[in-house]
Every structure is written in structure tokens, then in C-alpha cells.
Structure 1
Amino acid sequence: MNFQPLRVFLADDHPIVLIGARAALEQSRTATIIGEARSTDEVIRELSRLPCDVLVTDFTMPGGELDDGIGYLRVVRETHPALPVVVMTMMANPGIMEQILSLGVLGLVDKADDLELLPLAVRSAVVGRLFVSKGLRDLLSIHRTSGGTQDKLSPREMEVVRLLAAGLGVNQIAEKFGKSIKTVSRQKMQAMRKLGLANNVELYQYARENGMII
């Protein structure tokens, strides 16, 4: 029986990662790369015209309208609810990883690992089986066992903290989420209180130390 390669759409803003991921997938004969993108805007636009079996994507790709990784993945899930997604990332934050998985992402691959793991992640995703590379799996396991401080935060509070640490202001975050400035300010203050943070400097330091700045 002939094996039909999976149609994969590949997205990353770093050309060297695109080259490495393409090589790993094509050399394994797992996939045919039907398209590539270097921004979230390109991904959303191209997916609407290029049918594919799996999306393999970076978590954050600056420059597009959807420059927040969680927001980007939400749009992908809303517009293509049945599409298996594998995320490549350099993050080391289990709280954000939990958010990604809660969106139905079926693969998490650490860019620090060998990209030869990608074919396995893609094959797992297409049959609905979760794949998380070992280093990230260990982080998630420790987080779930210990119950880290980020468990205190709601998903929206975590997003607000992450975006503030990335340099966005309260006004920008309010516009991004379609919320009032008062609501975002309240979420910021609630998050800081839960984490025991006194000011923006401590918030930035917390985000950096906990892998929230990617």
C-alpha cells in the first residue's frame, strides 16, 4: 500500500527554522510542504485558500496583526476547527503551554530539540494523539505536580501579564481584546496582587524569570 504524504503548511519567522523543519519533514517522507509563511497574517490568509492536513507553526511571529501567540492560535482554531496544529517554540513557561494545549493544539515541539521530532509530532497530530517533546513534557509534569504560582491567575490575567511584559500598554491591550481600559487595568492589578508584585519592574522580572517573555 502506497503511503500518501501529509500536506503540511509550515510557518516561522526565522528562515533557518523553516529550512530545518522542511528538511526534517520531507526527508522522513512524512509530508509534502504545500505552503510557508513568516507571519501570522500570512498563515490566516493562506490557510483560507490552501487545504492542508496539518499546520506546523511557530508560537509567536511578530509583525502581523495577530502578534500574540494565544490570540493567533485562537483565530486558527475558530477559522479551522478541525485542523491539527503542531506548535514549535522556545518558551519555557508551563502556564502558557497549558493555555496552548487547552486550545486543542496536538503537538508541542521544543526548538532546542532535534527537529527530527517533527515527523513524529505531525503523524501523532493527524490521528488525534498528543505529542509533547521530552523537555517540555518534563516542565509540564513538574508544574502540574507542584501547582505553580501561575495557577492563581485566570487565562485572561496571564495574557495581560505576558503582554505588559512584552511592552504593550494597558490601552493597547484593551484595544487588542476589545475591552475597556478599566477592565484591563483591573485584570492587571488582580494579577499583580495574586503574584505578590508591587510594580511594573517586578512584573517584568517575574515574566522574564518564568519564561513568559519569548
Structure 2
Amino acid sequence: MTAVHSYQRGSAHSPGTNGKSEQGVIVMEACPMTALGMRNILAQSCTQSENIKHVNNLAAIPNLMRSQPTSLLIMELCGESESVLDGLRLISMCLEHWPSTAIVVCTALDDPRVLQLLTVSGVKGLVLKQEPAIALAQCVQQVLAGRRSYSHKVRQLLVNQSIGGKALTARELDVLAYLFSGKSVTAAALMMHRDVRTVSTHKRNAMLKLGFHNDGELFLQGKWMAKTGPVFAN
């Protein structure tokens, strides 16, 4: 399991000595060139562009969120040696502890199932890296204006998607992470200190939300969940 599983609870942001909190922007992107391109886009579309922090993995995000109020988080779903499931868990954590931070996912992963899952997870914006730079700029502008924004390509890919309308819970994500790392339900139950029947229920509920009917579908069609960065889209 990666460092994402050891994240601690975030604390509420406190204002500075002058009573005001300076809002920042975090860009989580493993590729330096892509991150630079994102910064250039933000410089033209984001009012907080002078206070942008760049990190190359998910594990670095919580400490930054705790240290400074953040208005916008733009993130890929995983960094080096991190999985897509880690990204989903990080999103869940941020929404719980920093609900005022708008999350925009800019990803190379275009599997309709993960895109649909992101739309119900609570992220404010969703855009694909394969799209023109203007797609991210427009997404950021709309999100900062208080609206949800899904790019044209994302909307096209979601047209025929009909999986469940609920996000995966933290426990369900934990179970899936163990399963995709090669552990059995029994082994996952032992490592989670949970009853096997409880873990089986988490697995079944996760499969229903994802639209999978059996283990074969889960591990064949759901293999995107085990993909790791920064070259997971290849």
C-alpha cells in the first residue's frame, strides 16, 4: 500500500497574523513539462496564479493543504508509484477535510468508468490531457466562478455511461486496493482487521457502483484502477 493510506486528518486552516488567509493553488503533476504548461494556463485564467505550488505526487498534497488555505487543486490521478485508487482516496479525503477547495482533475486516463466515477465523487472540474490547452483554461475559469465543468471530450465519453450514482467509500476503496494488489478477500480482511463478511460486502457494493457483475469483469474491465503513474496511460 502506498503513502496515500497513511494520510492523517487535515486540520482547519487558520488565518495569518493579519487575520486574513492567502488562498493558494496546488498543481499535482508528475511530468515537469506538463506542470509548466499548466502553470502558464493558470497565469492567464486564475486570479491566484502568483501563489501556485507544484508537487509531483499525491502524498505531498495533504501537508500543503494543512499549511495554507487552498482555493484550487488541479491534479492527475496518480504520481510515480501511486495508483488511480490512491487518487480516488485522496479526492475523498480532500472533500471531507477541505470542502472549500475546488478540485479539477486533469488526466490522461480516458476510461469512461473512471470518468463517470469522478463526476459523482465531488470534483468540480474534469478535463483530459489529450484536449487543447484552452479546455483546461475554460474549466478552471468556470470552476472558480462556482460552476461544475466537464470538458467536451469528457461529456462525449460519458454519453452512454450508466453506472451507479454514488461515489466509492473509503472502505470500498481500501478493499479494491488490496484486491488489485493481489490480495484475496480473506487476506484483505485480516489486514484491515475486519470480518470477512464485512469485506465481502464492501467488495460487492463497490462492484455494484462500478457496474461490474462478477470478478471477471472487475479485474478485466476495472484494470485501470491498478494503473500507476506517471506513465499509466501508456
TM-score (norm 2): 0.67
CA offset at residue 126 of structure 1? 1.6
From 181, 186, 193, give the equivalent of 1:167: 181
Q: Does 1:185 align with 2:200?
A: yes
Q: Is the 8 A contact 1:57 1:88 kept in 2?
A: yes
CA offset at residue 61 of structure 1? 2.8
Please give the alpha-carbon distance, in whole angstroms, between the structure 1 residues aligned to 2:219 and 2:194.
23
Q: Is the 8 A contact 1:161 1:188 kept in 2?
A: yes
Per-residue CA distance 1:74-94 (angstroms, 9 max, x = gap): 111112111111111122333
Please give the alpha-carbon distance, in whole angstroms, between the structure 1 residues aligned to 2:100 and 2:80.
25
CA offset at residue 7 of structure 1? 3.8
Counterpart for residue 76 of structure 1: 94
Distance 1:15 1:180, change over 3 A: farther
CA offset at residue 56 of structure 1? 0.9
Distance 1:187 1:8, change over 3 A: closer
Q: Does 1:15 align with 2:49?
A: no
Which consecutive residues of structure 2, in runs of 5 or more, have no partner in the other structure?
1-22, 228-234
Alignment of 1:19-98 (within 5 A): 19-28=36-45, 31-63=49-81, 68-98=86-116
Distance 1:15 1:28, change over 3 A: same
Please give the alpha-carbon distance, in whole angstroms, between the structure 2 residues aligned to 1:141 and 1:95.
11
Tell me how large the CA RMSD over aligned residues is.
Answer: 3.7
Give the aligned length. 199
Larger relative contact order (Cα-Cα within 8 Å, sequence gap ≥ 6): 2
CA offset at residue 43 of structure 1? 0.6
Please give the alpha-carbon distance, in whole angstroms, between the structure 2 residues aligned to 1:175 and 1:46.
33
Counterpart for residue 150 of structure 2: 132
Counterpart for residue 104 of structure 1: 122
Per-residue CA distance 1:177-210 (angstroms, 9 max, x = gap): 7744442234446749x845365xx5422224xx
